[in-house]
Chain A
Amino acid sequence: MWVIYTLNALYFAALLFLTSLGLNIILGVMGILNLAHGSLYAIGAFMAAWTIIHIVTKAPVFFLYVSLLSGLVLAGVVGFLMEKSLIRAMYKRTLEYQLLLTFGALLLLEDVIKMIWGGQAYYASAPFDLLGKVDVFGNVYPIYFLFVMFITFLAGLFIWFFMGRTKLGIMLRAISLDREMATGLGLDIGRLSTFAFVLGSGLAGLAGALVVPTTPALLGIGMEPLILAFIVVVVGGLGSLKGALVGALLVGFTRSFGIAIFPEIELPLLFLIAGIILVVKPQGLFGR
């Protein structure tokens, strides 16, 4: 069973990593704490579910998996519009304004989702069902969960390479390190911020899209991931990619083994660990 507990932990951590990675990029580069991040996750989930339901009988199986990207694209587009309209004005304001504004955006987006997709549940489990199961040391495990881990691994690798090795990524990091200096060096902060916000939003949308074959898309689907992503970001350190990874793994393993061993205190345990880390290292594990 321990192998499966570990795989469960990795699967949960993978989704959480994707969600908190986006939150972290936005926070790191732009200094914006986006409470509407969960709504972008939900938009990804609804978009992907809607697409899957509409093409499942018509398109070849391969396209079902490609269609998951629709969640990423739409969340990215919504992120773009959000940044251009609402977030832009917040860069020079204090945190309270950001929290109020992004909380407003959260409520707004929830209603937009209700307006577009209605109140029903969208069941789109075909990608999960079609991949079937695999034997892992005598235990049955759904291949789709492995697929999610693989995609997350690719996304993580891409972000790591992008941030560390490409010019665009280096410019984003420069902004996150010293915004004024970066401006002084002539970086186009406005455009780069838009880009970072779109990237972060897209990652949230991808996480939502990946989860939807395993659970129906419902109103409020983005709340739990938002809360857990905050724990991850706080524990791992604000703006640190490594922190997001370690934080996600910590939450994933605590949850999986917590439920197996001490089910009654699984959630308190999570907050307890987060609390201890913050007391010992207020800036988070890898925070600056």
Chain B
Amino acid sequence: MGATAVSVGSLGAAGKAIGQPKKPIPTTPVKIATVSFLTGAAAAPFGIPGYNTFMMCADVINKEGGILGRKIELLSKDEAGGVDAQVKLCRKLVLEDKVDVVLGYISSASCQAILPLADELGGLIIAYDCGTHELMEGAKSPYEVPKFKLGFRSKAHLGIDNIGLALVIKKYFPKIKTIAGINPDYAWGRESWQIFEVAMKKLMPQVEVVKTLWPPLGNTDYTAHISALMGAKPDIVHSSLWGGDAVTYTKQAMGMGFFKNIKMAYSRGEPYPQEVGKDFPEEQIICCAGTHYFLYPPHDKSPLNKWFVTEYNKRFGKYPTYPCYHAYQAIYAYKYAVEKAAKAVGGWPEIDDIAKAAVGLSFKTPSGTLTIREDHNAIEDVLVGFTKLTPKYPFPILDPKRLEVFPASQVNAPVGIKTVDWINSWK
């Protein structure tokens, strides 16, 4: 590894490389580490699709000439093994392997542990898929931004999914009286429900919460939960279950006649109709973790989405799901930030220049436009839809006539304000 790696390393150690005169663009490849679950429960639904997309995008970028002429060399790593193992791995990637950037992390726990390392090690880290809204927020509003100088997240946090669901429920089901929740019993589930509940209280104060269930992650038998929910007779049940849990829950609920009288609102439901197949119940409320959907924006309006879907399908035989879009956003955020910084400094930029350029970066993605704010967190619009079977696909798609898109400004708290406080301040 040539000049860049050395400069990144020495910058991390002493911070003295800032403000050097113009640097020629090295001829060595750009080393990008990607970290996602390659084994375990989150591999099939999130990790592997993300990994596939990183590979695909790197390949495409390389064929188009790389980043400022430098080819991308990917180091794909497994996120499994727990937070401690990830902290060690990240140290190794930045200090020993001297990667130019780490794009990674699906688990919110990983992100919470890793992003502080960015400043400690002096390495650029972009969180690409984890959801916790606490990652970039401070303890109290208003809080100082950015929390991490070299740590970013190239997607919006889980707030948008749950606020989006509440907005859709208010619009389409203004008369409902009761809701319930089934969310996995750890930070992700608790936070998703918290945001949803706060937003519902604000938007529809008359609605009563009749049951909240917290099955453990990796639960294999949901029958007791399903019956308990059916017994409580809610109109709509909110859920942030994901991966195998979401599929298991849905299939067992189908078997128990759950969907006859109750509707589900899945905060991250987008991948599962494809996973479960044509039996996946219709008319369920599904959020897409942003506007990440293989049919949105429609292909005649977005050639980029059309290309992305076709290319992914050609390579991997499936339609891209939201983790694929997140991976695209991360790798291109890095590419565009480097290119923007290079223009400013006239040469290959230092890590601080890249971080500076990333703030305010706004670029087209297959899902629309992504903007990275001063708090180093991206904001996105959010798409919520209703499942519907059509003759064209072997699984229900989101009914094209009822796609609800809420603009980023409507579902993201302003910079420096905590999401919960912001919702509570709604008039």
Question: Using a CB–CB distance below 8 Å, which chain A residues touch chain B?
Answer: 1, 4-5, 7-9, 11-12, 15, 114, 118-121, 123, 125, 128-129, 133, 139-142, 144-145, 211, 214-216, 218-221, 223-224, 255-256, 258-260, 263-264, 267
Whether A263 lies near B244 (C-beta < 8 A) is no
Q: Which residues of A contact B221 (CB under 8 A)?
A: 11-12, 15, 211, 214-215
Chain B residue at smallest Cβ distance from A133: B255
B residues within 8 A CB of A256? Answer: 223-224, 227
Additional 16 contacts, C-beta under 8 A, given A140-B255, A260-B228, A267-B216: A4-B230, A11-B221, A119-B43, A123-B247, A123-B275, A125-B251, A139-B257, A142-B252, A145-B223, A211-B220, A215-B221, A215-B244, A218-B218, A218-B244, A224-B216, A263-B213
The closest CB in chain A to the CB of B220 belongs to A215
**Contact indicator B256/A142 (Cβ below 8 Å):** yes
B223 contact from A12, A118, A224, Cβ within 8 A: A12
* CB neighbours of B214 from chain A (8 A): 263-264
Q: Measuring CB to CB, which residues of chain B are less than 8 angstroms from any residue of chain A? A: 37-41, 43-45, 48, 78, 80, 211-214, 216, 218-221, 223-225, 227-228, 230-231, 243-244, 247-248, 251-252, 255-257, 260, 275, 279
A-B contact pairs, 19 of them (CB 8 A): A5-B231, A15-B221, A119-B39, A119-B80, A121-B44, A123-B247, A123-B275, A128-B251, A139-B256, A139-B257, A140-B257, A141-B256, A142-B252, A142-B256, A144-B255, A145-B223, A211-B221, A219-B40, A256-B227
| Min C-beta distance of A43 to chain B, whole Å | 15
A224 to B248: give the CA distance in the assembly, Å: 15
Q: Compute how far the CA of A4 lies from the CA of B213 in the bound complex, rounded to whole angstroms.
A: 18
Considering only CB atoms, which chain A residue lies closest to B257 in the complex?
Answer: A140
| Contact A255–B224 (Cβ < 8 Å) | yes
Q: Which B residues touch A9, using CB under 8 A?
A: 224
A5 contacts which of B37, B44, B212, B227 (Cβ < 8 Å)? B227
Chain A residues, CB < 8 A from B78: 119
Contact assessment for A214 and B248 in the assembled complex, using a CB-CB cutoff below 8 Å? yes
Q: Is the CB of B38 within 8 A of A121?
A: no
In the assembly, what is the distance between CA of A9 and CA of B224, in Å? Answer: 7
| 10 cross-chain pairs, A with B, having the tightest CB-CB distances, nearest first | A119-B39, A140-B257, A142-B255, A260-B228, A215-B248, A8-B223, A215-B220, A259-B224, A121-B44, A1-B231
Q: How far is the CA of A56 from the CA of B252 in the complex (A)?
A: 20
B213–A259 CB distance below 8 A: yes
Contact status of A133 and B225, CB under 8 A, knowing A1-B231, A123-B275, A224-B220: no
* B260 proximity list for chain A (CB < 8 A): 140
CB pair A120–B220 under 8 Å, yes or no, is: no
Q: A215-B248, A216-B248, A263-B214 are in contact. Are A221 and B220 (CB under 8 A)?
A: yes
Chain A nearest CB, measured from B318 CB (Å): 13
The interface residues of chain B lying within 8 Å CB-to-CB of A259 are 213, 224-225, 228
Shortest CB-to-CB span from A212 to chain B, Å, is: 9
B-chain residues with CB within 8 Å of residue A12 when the two chains form the complex: 221, 223-224
Contact call B48/A120, Cβ cutoff below 8 A = yes
Which chain B positions have C-beta within 8 A of A1?
227, 230-231
Q: Which residues of A contact B251 (CB under 8 A)?
A: 125, 128-129, 214
In the assembled complex, the CB of A55 is this many whole angstroms from the nearest CB of chain B, namely 19
Q: Is the CB of A11 within 8 A of B257?
A: no
Closest to A260 in B: B228
Specify which chain A residues have a CB less than 8 angstroms from the CB of B219 in the assembled complex: 224
Question: Would you call A220 and B230 a contact (CB within 8 A)?
Answer: no
**Closest residue of A by beta carbon distance from B275:** A123
A224, B218: Cβ atoms closer than 8 Å: yes
B228 lies within 8 A of A119 (CB): no
- How long is the Cα–Cα vector from A121 to B210 in the complex, in angstroms? 33
Of all chain B residues, the one with the shortest Cβ separation from A121 is B44
| Residue of A whose beta carbon sits closest to that of B39 | A119
Inter-subunit contact A129/B224 (CB<8 Å): no
Q: Is B255 touching A128 in the complex (CB atoms < 8 A)?
A: yes
Q: How far is the CA of A12 from the CA of B251 in the complex (A)?
A: 17
Bound-state Cα–Cα, A219 to B42, Å = 10
CB distance from A263 to the nearest CB of B (A): 5
Which chain A residue has the least Cβ–Cβ distance from B256? Answer: A140
Distance in Å from the Cβ of B239 to the closest Cβ of chain A?
Answer: 14
Residue of B whose beta carbon sits closest to that of A6: B227
Q: How far is the CA of A7 from the CA of B223 in the complex (A)?
A: 9
Q: Which chain A residues lie closer than 8 Å to B228 at the CB level?
A: 5, 259-260, 263
Contact A214 B212 (CB under 8 A): no
Measured in the bound complex, the distance between the Cα atoms of B227 and A1 in whole Å is 7
Docked Cα-Cα span, A15 to B220, in Å, equals 11
CA distance A211 to B78 in the complex (A): 28
- Distance to closest chain B CB from A161 (angstroms): 28
- Please state if A216 and B213 are interface contacts (CB–CB under 8 Å): no
B279 proximity list for chain A (CB < 8 A): 129
B224 touches A8 (CB 8 A): yes
Q: Chain A residues with Cβ under 8 A from B38's Cβ?
A: 119
Please state if A219 and B216 are interface contacts (CB–CB under 8 Å): no
* B-chain residues with CB within 8 Å of residue A260 when the two chains form the complex: 224, 227-228, 231
Q: A141 to chain B: which residues have CB within 8 Å?
A: 255-256
CA distance A223 to B219 in the complex (A): 10
Smallest CB-CB separation from A143: which chain B residue?
Answer: B255
| C-alpha gap A264/B38 in the complex (Å) | 33
Q: Is the CB of A220 within 8 A of B224?
A: no
Min Cβ gap B414→A in Å is: 34
Closest to A257 in B: B224
CB atoms of B48 and A4 under 8 A apart: no
